[in-house]
Each structure stands twice: as C-alpha cells, then as structure tokens.
Amino acid sequence: MSSKRHILTAVAWPYANGPRHIGHVSGFGVPSDVFARFQRMSGHDVLMVSGTDEHGTPVQVLADQEGVTPRQLADRYNQVIVEDLVALGLSYDLFTRTTTGNHYAVAQELFTGLYDNGYIFTRTTKGAISPSTGRTLPDRYIEGTCPICGYDSARGDQCDNCGNQLDPIDLIEPRSKVNGEVPEFVDTEHFMLDLPAFAEVLGTWLTSKSGQWRPNVLKFSLNLLHDLQPRAVTRDLNWGVPIPLEGWSDNANKRLYVWFDAVVGYLSAAVEWAKRTGDPDAWRRWWQDPEAESYYFMGKDNIVFHAEIWPAMLMGYSGIGDRDGGAGSLGALNLPTEVVSSEFLTMEGRKFSSSRRVAIYVRDFLERYSADALRYYIIAAGPETQDTDFTWAEFVRRNNDELVAAWGNLVNRTISMAAKYIGEIPEAGDLTDDDRRVLDHSRAAFAAVGEHLDRSRFKAGLQEAMRTVAEANKYLSDQAPWALRKTDPDRMRTVLHVALQLVDDAKTLLTPFLPASSNKVHTMLGGTGMWSVMPHVEDAVDTIGGDGEPTTYQVITGDYAASQARWESVPVRPGTPLSAPTPLFTKLDPAVADEEVARLENAVK
C-alpha cells in the first residue's frame, strides 16, 4: 500500500440498445466507482475506462424497426447512457464509445496481431441469413415449430416449451422474428478465434489466481476450459468494424463480431484517453508495466468474455500460446489482475426484463431520488456475491433508517450543536479514555475499510464504515454534550471537538460510496475547494462509424487528481466557523414504496 500503484479499472461496456436499469449499474457501475475512488484516495494512479458498446445485430434490428440507421440509434442511447452514468457520479477517466475511429483502429490491430500469430483462421459454416438484407440472422431471431415437441413458437437456439437446445436448421417452418420471412441457410465463411490453442496457458494462468478471485468466477472459468471451441469473430452484417485484411476490408456485409470489438474497448479507451492527455503513450503505464494491475467489473453473464476470451486474445496478441510469434505492434499487453463479477439483481421478486418493462431505469430513479441513496442501496444490499432482490420497501427503509437516521442525523446533530453553542469548531481540552478510544477506533477504521475495498469486498467495507457512524452516535448519547452545556462547558467543547472529528473521519470513509454527500459534509465543516471531484461530460472529436468526417461526441471524464480527498484521518481545525447545517439526505414517506410498486404494475400491463 505504501508505493504508488497503477490500477486500471476496466468497467463493462453498456450496450447501446436502450436505457440502462438499476440492475445494470449495480453490477458494473457503482462497485467499480467505489473501487476507483478508494484507490485514488489511497494515492494510486487509477485509470478507469469504459464506453457504450454500439455494434451488433440487436442495435441493427432495433434501428430497422424504428426506421432509423444503427448509427442514429447508437447516438441516441449513447447520449442517454452517458447522462445516466454522470448523474450517478461514476468517475470514469474516459467513458467513450465503440464507434470511434480510434476504436476501429485498435480493434483491427488486435485482429491483425492475432491473425499474424496464427490464432485466427477461416471456416465455412452453415448460417442463417435474412434473404432480403443478406445479414446474419442470429438463432434467437429465428422462430419455428420445435422438431422435438411440436411447440410452434420455439426459438432457433432453444425451445421454451420442452427446454431442448435446438439448431435453427432443424426447425419446422422457420421464420424470422424480425420480419417474418423465411430465413435462408447458406454457407458463409467466417474468421474463428482458436480458443483451444490457449487452453493450457489459460489453465495455468487461472489456477494462479486461486485464492485471489471470487471463487465462483474462478470455478466457472476453469470449468469452461474443458470444452473450448473455436469461436467466430465475424458476422454477416454491415454494422460493425471492417475486417482489416486484403479482400475483406471492403466487403460491406462482413464485419467483426460485436463481442470481439467490444472487449477490445478497454484497450482502445485507454489509448484514446492517452491521446487526449497529450501523451499518446501514457496508456502503456497501465497495460505494459509488469507491476501494473487491472480490475475488470461486470455482471456474471460476462464472465466468459473477461476471464476466458479476452485473456486469450491478450495472450495471442502478445505472442503467448501454442503457436509462437511475437507481440503485435503495440507490444505485449497485461492480463487481468482480477475479474470482479457480481451476481444479478431481481426486482420485487422478478427478473429485470426490458422487453416486458419489468425494470427501473436509472434515469427514472434519479429523477425522484438521489444518486447517493441509490449508491448506498446498491452497495449495502446489492448482488455482490449472490443474487439479491430489490424492493422499494427495503430501499425506503435503508434510506430512512441508515442513511438519514444514522449518518445524516449524526452530521446534523453534531454540527447543529457546535454551530448553535459555539459557532465554530472548538479546541479540545484534556482527552478522557473514552475520547481516546473512540478516536482510535475511528482512525483504525481506515485500515479495516481499506482492506475490504482493496479486495473488492464493498458490502463489508460499507458496513465497517457505518460502524464508525454508530459509534459516534453512541459517543454523543453517552457524553450528552447538550447536558454539559450548563454543568461543564469546557468538557462540552472537548466532546464536540471529538464528535466533529468523528464526523469528519466518517465523511472520508464514506467518500468512495457517497461522494456527493461527502462533498456536502466537507463544506459544512468549513472545508473549501473540491473534496472529491465529480465526473463531467465533455466534447470529443473523432471520426464516427469508421467513415471519414470527424464528428463531435460526448465523453465522460474528470480531473480527479484535483480532489483533496485522501484515505486518512485529517485533524479538524479549531476556530473554523460553523453554521447551522442543512439536511444531508431526504427522508422518504413509506407510501413511496407502494407508489413505486403500483407504478411498476402499471408499466407491466
């Protein structure tokens, strides 16, 4: 902890086919931000990157349905998602998108490197295409009668009635879910990533992570090694990154498969970030220094890409694997230090489902409640190691009893008293054993909470931080400074000094979780300047969609180095003027829970 580390915080790329719901941000968003903020406060060099994932069939299909181009659709949802993530206070160094010229170039470079080293080969496969467009028709978009049970709405990949896995070519009377036409099964040539060539190196690497990663991620990944198959990296589609090979690059209907380019985003975003800082090689400190660390945050549905496929791509590009060959022109690239996957959030007992509108969108949520209230709930009750259920009643309860009653009220009662009785932060007189003990505990909490956060145990970290809040409330009850006011004013001043110090420490401990409210407390305690810098939206310029003209788009970034926040107890300064505080959080009427559930029921109808 003493030396400065380079820590890449790689956050899953939200797919730009709609607004994101609170399940999404509880998986990748809030935990990664808590981690990044904590590491920055600890003095480390953090690079936190992500962006919207905008290619692929789902975007294309949705765009067709709405009568817009995929690019227009991606633009729209990129914008929505950027606004939501900024509103949540997620401190990306760069949140960009996969449709930039920079991203195209880096994705193609990865492809080329893998190809040159012999890890990508072509294979002719039988695939369904839409006869009217010539595009790949994914299995899930094909419907027909199940050859096994006769169910007439079986999907191409699986029959929902009998549960059997299917091959779309076996469906009786297959039809496209997109437009009803009969799909055509044609021979089509695709590039494949030779995953089996990495089985051994992946196994060695994964095994070395034993005891470090969350066990479910590790077990799951190791198990996948038993049956690695080559995986297609191209599709018949014109919405995506062109294939950078002679004879293929101008094929309008053959593109890199969306997963391939999306996962390269972690690297391309780092490169883009470096260019923006004016030091184009700056990204190398996080990707090529052997001491640098990288943490990837995502939901459990993405483990295979982050613990298996992306590492294989990095190895292949770097010249590690069954076949020899050197590193590509960027040089060898670091493998993930840790893949931090969270489980899923359900919603009042049901799965989130955008199509059935069983969802609470980030935007709707933040219109009515604060970002910190949501952040608090996600960390305190979110799906860190197992699926958890979001209920409005529990949200209201946590907000009212924990945020408002415990923390908000501690801030309020302490500063109120100090402001009313003294008007400034008082000097401490002689400290009693009780004073010293509670101050020691508070200081010790930095190591305890920090240990949890460094190991991505956010729930435990928050609990530990909130314990100091409870201790401070107890301290006030025990010492009763309001009663000392008449009997022993000097002692009262000491008690309030100690209490204010506890509040200040708790504010620091809670900063990674609740940055906006910690900033408020900083100000209330007479602090000036910016305690913990929040992200902002900024214009960037690049070519978009791979075609010529440079365009302006918006990115999330921030000058986080300007933050004063450090992971340590800082003595409060006696004499600092204090004024009556304003409430830190809003208490919610319990009726809110019923209203929100009703709103959800109506949406479902």
Indicate the annotated binding residues for ATP: 354
Nearer to RNA, 138 or 311 (CB): 138
Q: Could you give the string, one character per residue 523-562, with x where binding to RNA holds by CB under 7 A and - elsewhere?
A: ----------------------------------------
- Interacting positions 373-402 with RNA (CB under 7 A): 381, 384-389, 391, 394, 397, 400-402
- Interacting positions 327-366 with RNA (CB under 7 A): 343-344, 346, 351
Nearer to RNA, 75 or 402 (CB): 402
Token look-up 């052997």 returns: 290
Name the β-bridge partners of 129. 136, 184
Nearer to RNA, 9 or 563 (CB): 9
Shortest distance (Å) from residue 21 CB to RNA: 12
Shortest distance (Å) from residue 90 CB to RNA: 17
Is 455 a residue that touches RNA (CB under 7 A)?
Answer: no
Shortest distance (Å) from residue 56 CB to RNA: 5
Of 429, 586, 597, 600, which one interacts with RNA (CB under 7 A)?
586
Shortest distance (Å) from residue 57 CB to RNA: 7
Give the annotated binding-site residues for Zn(2+). Answer: 146, 149, 159, 162
Q: Could you give the string, one character per residue 11-50, with x where binding to RNA holds by CB under 7 A and - elsewhere?
A: -xxxx-x---------------------------------
| Burial class (CB within 10 angstroms; exposed 0-12, middle 13-18, buried 19+) of 574 | middle
Between helices 371-381 and 30-41, what is the axis angle to 10°? 100
- Interacting positions 92-151 with RNA (CB under 7 A): 125, 127-128, 136-140
Shortest distance (Å) from residue 404 CB to RNA: 5
Q: Where are the alpha helices (DSSP H) in 244-283?
A: 258-277
Q: With contacts defined by CB under 7 A, how many residues of the chain interact with RNA?
A: 89
Span interacting with RNA, options 26-34, 110-118, 503-511, 580-588, rule CB under 7 A:
580-588
- Who's near 265: CB < 8 A, 6+ residues apart? 13, 49, 50, 51, 53, 96, 98, 103
Of 68, 192, 201, 406, which one interacts with RNA (CB under 7 A)?
406
Closest among 148, 152, 153 to 170, alpha carbons compared? 148
Nearer to RNA, 231 or 255 (CB): 231
Residue type (1 letter), 298: M
- Interacting positions 51-80 with RNA (CB under 7 A): 53, 56-58
Shortest distance (Å) from residue 85 CB to RNA: 14
Name the β-bridge partners of 154. 144
**Dihedral of alpha carbons 491, 493, 494, 495, sign:** positive
- Interacting positions 200-229 with RNA (CB under 7 A): 215-216, 219-220, 223-224, 227-229
Shortest distance (Å) from residue 217 CB to RNA: 8
Between helices 489-510 and 515-524, what is the axis angle to 10°? 150
Residue type (1 letter), 235: R
Nearer to RNA, 41 or 303 (CB): 303
Nearer to RNA, 41 or 374 (CB): 374
Which pairs count as long-range contacts for 243-249, CB under 8 Å and 24+ apart, including other chains? Answer: 243/108, 243/111, 243/191, 244/108, 244/109, 244/111, 244/112, 245/112, 245/115
Closest among 98, 64, 78 to 20, alpha carbons compared? 78
- Interacting positions 293-322 with RNA (CB under 7 A): 300-302, 304-305
Q: Cα separation of 483 and 377, whole Å?
A: 36
Is 417 a residue that touches RNA (CB under 7 A)?
Answer: yes
Of 412, 442, 532, 569, which one interacts with RNA (CB under 7 A)?
412
Q: Which two tokens stand for residue 387?
A: 């699926």
Shortest distance (Å) from residue 559 CB to RNA: 29
Nearer to RNA, 292 or 496 (CB): 496
- Interacting positions 232-291 with RNA (CB under 7 A): 232, 257-260, 262-263
Shortest distance (Å) from residue 413 CB to RNA: 3
Is 441 a residue that touches RNA (CB under 7 A)?
Answer: no
Paired sense of beta strands 338-342 and 293-299, if any: parallel
CB atoms under 10 Å from CB of 398, counted, come to 16
Strand 293-299: give its sheet, edge to edge: 338-342, 293-299, 6-11, 45-52, 94-97, 550-557, 536-543
| 262 neighbors 98 (Cβ within 8 angstroms) | yes
Nearer to RNA, 393 or 431 (CB): 393
- Who's near 343: CB < 8 A, 6+ residues apart? 27, 299, 300, 383, 384, 385, 386, 387, 388
- Interacting positions 157-176 with RNA (CB under 7 A): 157-158, 163, 165
Closest among 476, 371, 468 to 89, alpha carbons compared? 371
The whole-angstrom distance between residue 90's C-alpha and the CA centroid of its chain comes to 8
Name the β-bridge partners of 338. 295
Shortest distance (Å) from residue 290 CB to RNA: 26
- Interacting positions 418-437 with RNA (CB under 7 A): 420
- Interacting positions 476-505 with RNA (CB under 7 A): 476-478, 480, 482-483
Span interacting with RNA, options 242-250, 331-339, 356-364, 577-585, rule CB under 7 A:
577-585
Span interacting with RNA, options 286-294, 412-420, 525-533, 564-572, rule CB under 7 A:
412-420
Q: What is the dihedral of CA 481, 484, 488, 493, to 10 degrees?
A: 20
| 481 neighbors 499 (Cβ within 8 angstroms) | yes
Of 41, 584, 593, 596, which one interacts with RNA (CB under 7 A)?
584
R_g (Cα) of the chain, nearest Å: 27
Residue type (1 letter), 472: A
Nearer to RNA, 96 or 563 (CB): 96
Give the annotated binding-site residues. Answer: 146, 149, 159, 162, 354
Nearer to RNA, 100 or 563 (CB): 100
